[in-house]
């Protein structure tokens, strides 16, 4: 029997992958979680039926949610990830020797547990083996409220703005994140597909601009997400991701990144016209 999984990207379009095995299928109090084995993309995690990560292309997302901010900030020491229970973002953050502590605040403990069990290539730094990493199973909004003026970089590694993630796209939340950052802090958030989600983007960037003096969008190629053309929001109190970028420092980073590099850092902030239009002020 052939088994295929489809995530619908619009009413009439979707992405389909051949599945060889279901490794886990269950439900937490927040959402439905499935981890399956696919033929071409390795293991794949779905939340409420939406593709979160696959082993084959997660390197793109996790490089790009973490390294642009960590190479723009001159000395990131304390980093917070909201969401990101698969651990991929923390894995990349841990490559930066300046980082003394990374905190993962994920609302759903089931996502963390199953990632440690079934996705060790991503969860390798959240399995308790790294003393620089702290885990909190908690609502990100509640956590941020109690940790003001603390972080150099905060990453919002969320799902789409439906279900438990809705609040992570709102102005009030961005204001709380602003407060949780030190005076030169940077926030990054996954910001959906410029091709399929212009309305979400318009709203999200408007909300960010109401709070941060520097707001830029950058892009990455992620084949298993809607349209493959994905984006991130860079919101900052002081440092500009292009003007304040130290190319030499990124070039001499001393660790391997399969997607990110010092040229791409700059290139990623160059946007096609339609994407600029989505978020025009």
What residues are labeled active site? 157
- What is the Cα–Cα distance from 173 to 178, expressed in whole angstroms? 9
Does the protein bind ligand AG3 through residue 164 (CB under 6 A)? no
Considering the rule CB under 6 A, would residue 218 count as an interface residue with ligand AG3? Answer: no
CB of 252 to ligand AG3, least distance (A): 27
Of 86-94, 137-145, 212-220, 236-244, the segment contacting ligand AG3 by CB under 6 A is: 86-94
Q: Which residues of 90-106 are buried (b: 16+ CB within 10 A; e: fewer)?
A: bbbbbbbeebeebbbbb
Q: Is 52 in the site for ligand AG3 (CB under 6 A)?
A: yes
Is 226 one of the binding residues for ligand AG3 (CB under 6 A)? yes
- Alpha carbon separation from 50 to 15, 53, 62, 112, 200 (Å, rounded): 10, 9, 17, 17, 17
Nearer to ligand AG3, 34 or 262 (CB): 34
Nearer to ligand AG3, 7 or 150 (CB): 7
CB of 245 to ligand AG3, least distance (A): 24
Distance of CA 29 to the CA centre of its chain: 22
**Residue 51 makes contact with ligand AG3 by CB under 6 A:** yes
CB atoms near residue 131 (< 10 Å): 7
126 binds ligand AG3 (CB under 6 A): no
Cβ proximity to ligand AG3: between 185 and 226 the closer is 226
Backbone angles phi, psi at 246, to 5 degrees: -95, 95
If the CB atoms of residues 51 and 214 are measured against ligand AG3, the closer one turns out to be 51
Sign of CA dihedral 81, 7, 38, 48: positive
Angle, helices 198-209 vs 171-180, to 10°: value is 50
Q: Which stretch binds ligand AG3 (CB under 6 A): 36-44, 69-77, 153-161, 178-186?
A: 153-161
CB closer to ligand AG3 out of 72 and 89: 89
Tokens 């996502």 found at: 111
C-alpha of 15 from chain center: 21
Strand order in the sheet with 151-157: 133-137, 101-106, 78-83, 151-157, 181-190, 229-236, 214-221
204 binds ligand AG3 (CB under 6 A): no
Cα–Cα distance measured from residue 265 to residue 32, given in angstroms and rounded to the nearest whole number: 35
Out of 57, 63, 86, 108, the only residue in the binding site for ligand AG3 (CB under 6 A) is 86
Q: How far is the CB of 268 from ligand AG3 (least distance, A)?
A: 17
Nearer Cβ to ligand AG3 (179/228): 228
Which of 44, 50, 60, 64 is the binder for ligand AG3 (CB under 6 A)?
Answer: 50
197-234 b/e (C-beta count within 10 Å ≥ 16 → b): bbebbebbbebbbebbebbbbbbbebebbbbbbbbbbb
* E strand or H helix that includes residue 198: helix 198-209
Residue from 38, 159, 201, 278 that binds ligand AG3 (CB under 6 A)? 159
Residue 157 binds ligand AG3, judged by CB under 6 A: yes
Shortest Cβ 270–ligand AG3 spacing (Å): 22
**Residue numbers at the binding site for ligand AG3 (CB under 6 A):** 7, 50-53, 61, 84, 86, 88-89, 157, 159-160, 190, 225-226
């Amino acid at each position: 029997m052939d088994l295929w999984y489809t995530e619908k990207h619009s009413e009439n379009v979707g992405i389909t992958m051949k599945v060889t095995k279901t490794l886990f299928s269950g439900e937490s109090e927040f959402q439905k979680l499935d981890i399956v084995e696919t033929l071409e993309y390795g293991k794949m995690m779905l939340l409420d039926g939406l593709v979160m990560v696959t082993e084959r292309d997660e390197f793109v997302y996790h490089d790009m949610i973490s390294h642009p901010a960590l190479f723009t900030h001159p000395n990131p020491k304390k980093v917070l990830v909201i969401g990101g229970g698969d651990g991929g973002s923390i894995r990349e953050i841990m490559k930066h020797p300046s980082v003394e502590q990374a905190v993962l605040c994920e609302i759903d403990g089931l996502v963390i547990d199953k990632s440690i069990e079934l996705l060790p290539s991503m969860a390798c730094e959240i399995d308790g083996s790294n003393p620089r990493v702290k885990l909190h199973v908690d609502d990100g909004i509640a956590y941020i409220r109690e940790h003001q003026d603390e972080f150099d970089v905060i990453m919002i590694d969320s799902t789409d703005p439906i279900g438990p993630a809705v609040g992570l796209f709102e102005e009030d939340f961005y204001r709380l994140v602003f407060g949780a950052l030190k005076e030169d802090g940077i926030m990054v958030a996954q910001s959906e597909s410029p091709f399929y989600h212009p309305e979400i983007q318009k709203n999200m960037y408007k909300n960010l601009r109401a709070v941060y003096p520097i707001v830029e969008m950058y892009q990455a190629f992620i084949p298993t997400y809607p349209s493959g053309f994905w984006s991130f929001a860079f919101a900052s109190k002081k440092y500009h991701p292009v003007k304040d970028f130290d190319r030499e420092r990124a070039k001499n980073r001393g660790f391997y990144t399969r997607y990110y590099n010092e040229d791409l850092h700059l290139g990623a902030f160059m946007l096609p016209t339609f994407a600029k239009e989505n978020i025009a002020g």
